[in-house]
Structure 1
Amino acid sequence: MRFSRNATGTLFVGGALTLTIAALAYPSMLGVSTVSSSPDRIIAQTQWGPLTEGDRDFVVKVRAAGLWEYPVGQMGLQKGTTPEVKTASAHLIDGHAALDTTCRKIAPMLGITLPNKASPQQQGFVNQLAADSGKKFDTDFANILRMTHGSIFNAIAKIRSTTKNRLVRVLAEQANATVLDHMTVMEKTGLVDFDQTIFQQTTPPKLPKTDLTPPPPAAGEPEVVLTPPPTSTTTPPAIPAK
């Protein structure tokens, strides 16, 4: 199944690109009343180690990232005007398909509910790029994706260095390599405005939580699968049985 684009969101706030690494979760489904108010709080004891709010939110964030970056990669293959933009687009598809495979494997093992749609803000990025063409598409593509990956890079390192859950650790290692690769290919387009990008990725956005959280899947809704491309060179890591 390919991702369908049917959500709405906001890309520009106050004339600037925005993103957040705010926590994402579905407290009503998980029997908790807060959304990462205490990232270190243990919400489940599993055979792979304790699962914290921060661990759970990280798995959801990785899934949500793929739900908008994968279709943007498909878009870039069609609309990109330079070889570098098309290469970066292929990396998005390949990397997020592999991450998605890992997320969908470990989520049920840990009792985590995954979204089937990106957050409204993330869908706003998709909508913006869908409206772009030519050089503007290339430039917005490179800067949006470099900014979003830069924003999450440090969060991945924190999860990897602090989680006690082996499955989350596997995902964090995979995400670290993937995000570094995606940052690098965006930079190789030669289109990244580093001053603006770094400012945006270090400035907290002023958006309501509803814009930053992907909606939970409807009851009985088929799981969206990000299909690896035929030319995939990325192999998802082995998942420990216990």
Structure 2
Amino acid sequence: MGTLFVGGALTLTLGALAYPSMLGVSQAATAQDRIIAQTQWGPLTELDRDFVVKVRAAGLWEYPLGKIALQKGTTPAVKTAGEHLIDGHAALDTTDRKVAAMLNITLPNVASPQQVGFVNTIDSSSGQQFDSNFANILRVTHGSIFNTIAKVRSTTKNSLVRALADQANDTVLDHITVMEKTGFVNFDQALFMQTTPPKLPAVDLTPPAPQPGEPMIVLTPPPNPTSTTVALPGDASSGSVPSTGVTPTPTVG
């Protein structure tokens, strides 16, 4: 897992964010349309559930990378991209945890092994190599999940999932944009990796389930957040970055 530079070209393994089957179940594409629950907000499909988990897993590795970028980034643009990761995923995680609780979806507290590998690869580099690894890996992964968001938003019949997809779309587009503004993105390689991801074992793509009774990790918003949550049906607190109301809540940040 990770990155390898060959003749100046970036090569990386990718999969976790791009696949609805990331939960470790081998499924035909049509299985994602299977309704697994009827809720007051509309039917919930396997694709809907997997998307809620993906949003959580994305924040669990991209949020800490934002903090690393603030420390190790060598240019203002890389540090700005790190700020956007922290701000955007803190707000998105707040919405995601609310949606998961309302839909009775279990969320992970740790990213998948593949995603942890991304963090380790980026964090183990320094200087402009860090900047390049950071920008390219995150541009590829955000570009991949962008397509999944579009599919979920255009097909889901669940109003909570639609609201989450709206916020995720805005967040991911913002993160794609700030990665591109760093000037380190190799577009040919990024687009190639998005369209030809390697096939990896399900165990690498699956965030581990939380232990029974394990308190949920919360991604703490920055002191002056600019990203906001979206309005959820029946939730008057949406539209700001509210307190989570979960006790206890170990925080990251």
Structure 1 and Structure 2 fold alike (TM over 0.5)? yes
What corresponds to 1:22 in structure 2?
Answer: 19
Q: Distance in 2 between matches of 1:35 and 1:166?
A: 27
Matched, 1:11 2:12: no
How much has 1:241 moved relative to structure 2?
Answer: 1.6
Aligned ranges 1:100-115 → 2 under 5 Å: 100-115=93-108
What corresponds to 1:221 in structure 2?
Answer: 214
How much has 1:206 moved relative to structure 2?
Answer: 2.5
- 8 Å CA contact 1:25–1:60 kept in 2: the answer is no
- 8 Å CA contact 1:94–1:234 kept in 2: the answer is yes
What corresponds to 1:94 in structure 2?
Answer: 87
What corresponds to 2:144 in structure 1?
Answer: 151
Query: How well do the aligned residues superpose, as a CA RMSD in angstroms?
Result: 1.7
Q: Distance in 1 between matches of 2:77 and 2:48?
A: 34
Alignment coverage as a number of residue pairs: 227
Q: Which runs of 5+ in 1 are unaligned?
A: 1-9, 28-33
The correspondence for 2:154, drawn from 150, 161, 164, is 161
Given residue 14 of structure 2, which amino acid in structure 1 is its aligned partner?
Answer: L
SS at match of 1:39: helix
Q: Distance in 2 between matches of 1:146 and 1:132?
A: 17
How much has 1:14 moved relative to structure 2?
Answer: 11
Q: Distance in 2 between matches of 1:92 and 1:147?
A: 15
- 8 Å CA contact 2:23–2:207 kept in 1: the answer is no
How much has 1:36 moved relative to structure 2?
Answer: 4.8
How much has 1:205 moved relative to structure 2?
Answer: 1.4
Which structure is higher in RCO with an 8 Å CA cutoff and minimum separation 6?
1
Q: Distance in 1 between matches of 2:179 and 2:4?
A: 23
Q: Distance in 1 between matches of 2:5 and 2:175?
A: 27
Runs of 4+ in structure 1 off by over 6 angstroms are: none
Q: Distance in 2 between matches of 1:239 and 1:232?
A: 20
SS at match of 1:106: helix
Aligned ranges 1:20-169 → 2 under 5 Å: 20=15, 21-23=18-20, 34=25, 36-37=27-28, 38-169=31-162
Q: Distance in 2 between matches of 1:221 and 1:42?
A: 28
How much has 1:222 moved relative to structure 2?
Answer: 1.1
Given residue 215 of structure 1, which amino acid in structure 2 is its aligned partner?
Answer: P
How much has 1:18 moved relative to structure 2?
Answer: 2.2
Quickly say closer, same or farther: Cα 1:210–1:13, change in 2 above 3 A. farther
Q: Which runs of 5+ in 2 are unaligned?
A: 236-253
SS at match of 2:108: coil
Q: Distance in 1 between matches of 2:172 and 2:27?
A: 23
1:33-64 deviation line (CA, Å, top 9, x unaligned)? x5554000000000000000000000000000
How much has 1:25 moved relative to structure 2?
Answer: 6.5
Aligned-residue sequence identity (percent) comes to 68
- 8 Å CA contact 1:76–1:89 kept in 2: the answer is yes
Q: Distance in 2 between matches of 1:130 and 1:189?
A: 17
- 8 Å CA contact 1:25–1:56 kept in 2: the answer is no
1:168-200 deviation line (CA, Å, top 9, x unaligned)? 000000000110000000000011000011111
How much has 1:12 moved relative to structure 2?
Answer: 4.0
- 8 Å CA contact 2:2–2:121 kept in 1: the answer is yes
- 8 Å CA contact 1:24–1:61 kept in 2: the answer is no
1:195-232 deviation line (CA, Å, top 9, x unaligned)? 01111111121210000110100111110100010121
Quickly say closer, same or farther: Cα 1:193–1:122, change in 2 above 3 A. same
